[in-house]
Structure 1
Amino acid sequence: MDKPIIKNLGLQPYLPIYDNMHHFTLTRNADTLDEIWLVEHPAVFTQGKVGKPEHLLHQTPIPVVQTDRGGQITYHAPGQQIMYILLDLKRLKIGIRDTVSFLEYSVITTLEHYGIAAKTKADAPGVYVNNQKICSLGLHIHRGCTLHGLALNVDMDLTPFNDINPCGYAGLQMTQLKNYVTTINRDEVRQILTESFVGQLPLNS
């Protein structure tokens, strides 16, 4: 089975990428190669499909976009590395739980490279460092194919997270790679993250 095509899309507005993800998924067939999109977004709050509006604590100039991913409200901005995974899970013969674990482990592996000990929480998907959240996850499944993915805080302004209950958890503190590493090579972060994720996929089965 072929490896996913990896696309580094740079800084892109949220909605066009959201629409493109859905178009890709709706028009793909059994032979379409999987893709991984690496992207950053201008400042935006995104709300999960079962997201509760009260988790937006304050009205701000930052737009709020309703999405079909799982989870509650989160924040995206430049300096946050997003990895969208467009995978045919049926073809790969893996489940959603496996996929979430692969995503989480790819972040843990990336942080280990920089000497940062990170872990997951059974009741709260994502990756945490010293009980502060450094990476959020959210997926949507359509006909056995995944949309959305993860958002890893690398070097961004975390202040707008104070305007929400991140991922629906009141008082949850957010952190980022910059708080632990003096020099960050963004290309290196992307490479480690994607290679770790792709390396877990059962491509030879």
Structure 2
Amino acid sequence: MVLQPSSSEALRLFTCFGLFLLSNSFQAVNIAVRDVNSDKSSTKLYSSQQDTRRICNVFDFRRLVPYQEGLQLQQNLQQDSIKALVGGHQTSDALILLEHPTVYTLGSSSVLSDILFELPDIDITNVGAKVVVEDYPEMPPFSIFRVQRGGKVTYHCPGQLVVYPILDLNYHGKDIERYLRNLEQLIINTLARFGVRGAREEGLTGVWISGKKVAAIGIGASRWITMHGIALNINALMKGFEMIVPCGIKDRDVTSLHQILGDSCPSVEEVKLCLKDEFAKIFELQLCDVEFPNKSSY
């Protein structure tokens, strides 16, 4: 079903990560993009269609990015595009690739029965509330955030590739269902590069291997500018999923590439390379690496 939000409304979509209500209150990020026609060897383009394809700026982090920092960058990039759209200017597409430190995020519909460990005696009912747990058995220190989205509890950790596309769907078909299916196909195609068969499950969002979820997908959009995205388990610490009911789905297991492939599992960086290539193909984009500021700039 195609959703048609008015120009003054945020598009609301319920997916695995939940119903994201997106604010327009964040300042735009200042980014330095290399000239795509530059002959500098460090500028990397992922498509040969340089003259016809829309440019997508790639923020490829090679460090752990705290959840709040990644969220802030998404919001800034989205607001940058919204301001351009409102002003009648060209919008920009972006792709953020990162891993988060171990973190649980709680949406507005999270219930205690979805959290299978004892929460600290601290109030985390308000958006932005944060708790750090340092001494849970067999787990590294982790954070718990209450975030401004609907939906249930989700889990991120090192070894899980998180993909946040900030796309203007005015250029990619104003169809949310199509966009979700494209994100699923992106993961299916990426898995196939490593000899793994991913699949869809009827009535559910995400990508599955033999009935077990390997990639969760949750998006939000405002004025057809997207944010949030995909969490693909590569060599993630799977015990973290045992401590929650992932996405509120009680009767489905979660898996990772490492559980499927064992010692032949690719690294996160190897998966990134294939995913970027498939992303450029599916969305017909020319990818360009970005020199982005450090945290203090956004």
Normalised by the length of structure 2, the TM-score is 0.63
Q: Among residues 46, 65, 79, which one is paired with 2:105 in the alignment?
A: 46
Gaps of 5+ in 1: none
- Residues 134, 153 of structure 1: 8 Å contact kept: yes
Q: 1:77-88, aligned counterparts within 5 Å? A: 77-88=157-168
> Letter of the aligned partner of 2:204 in structure 1?
A
Q: Among residues 255, 258, 270, which one is paired with 1:175 in the alignment?
A: 255
Alpha-carbon distance in 1 for matches of 2:280, 2:112? 35
How many pairs were matched up?
Answer: 204
Deviations 1:18-48 (A, max 9, x none): 0121122123213232000000000011234
Q: 1:158-197, aligned counterparts within 5 Å? A: 158-181=238-261, 182-183=263-264, 184-197=266-279
Alpha-carbon distance in 2 for matches of 1:7, 1:65? 24
Give RMSD over aligned pairs: 2.0
Q: 1:203 to 1:39 in 2, by over 3 A?
A: closer
Q: 1:1-205, aligned counterparts within 5 Å? A: 1-10=53-62, 11-28=64-81, 29-30=84-85, 31-59=90-118, 61=133, 62-69=142-149, 71-181=151-261, 182-183=263-264, 184-201=266-283
Partner of 2:13: none
Kindly name which structure, 1 or 2, has the bigger radius of gyration based on alpha carbons.
2
Q: Shift of residue 159 of structure 1?
A: 0.2
Q: 1:130 to 1:160 in 2, by over 3 A?
A: same
- Residues 199, 208 of structure 2: 8 Å contact kept: yes
- Residues 44, 76 of structure 1: 8 Å contact kept: yes
Q: 1:51 to 1:88 in 2, by over 3 A?
A: farther
> Secondary structure at the residue paired with 2:240?
helix
150-159 vs 16-25, which deviates more? 16-25
State the percentage of identical aligned residues. Answer: 27
Q: 1:43 to 1:87 in 2, by over 3 A?
A: same
99-108 vs 3-12, which deviates more? 3-12
Task: Report the structure, 1 or 2, having the larger helix content.
Answer: 1
Q: Shift of residue 86 of structure 1?
A: 0.3
Q: 1:109 to 1:144 in 2, by over 3 A?
A: same
78-87 vs 175-184, which deviates more? 175-184
- Residues 13, 42 of structure 1: 8 Å contact kept: yes
Q: 1:122 to 1:67 in 2, by over 3 A?
A: farther
> Secondary structure at the residue paired with 2:97?
strand
> Letter of the aligned partner of 1:190 in structure 2?
K
Bigger RCO of structures 1 and 2 (CA < 8 A, at least 6 apart): 2
Q: Shift of residue 179 of structure 1?
A: 1.7
- Residues 241, 254 of structure 2: 8 Å contact kept: yes
- Residues 54, 284 of structure 2: 8 Å contact kept: no
Alpha-carbon distance in 2 for matches of 1:53, 1:100? 29
Q: 1:133 to 1:45 in 2, by over 3 A?
A: same
> Secondary structure at the residue paired with 1:58?
coil
> Secondary structure at the residue paired with 1:116?
coil
> Letter of the aligned partner of 2:60 in structure 1?
N
Alpha-carbon distance in 2 for matches of 1:149, 1:15? 15
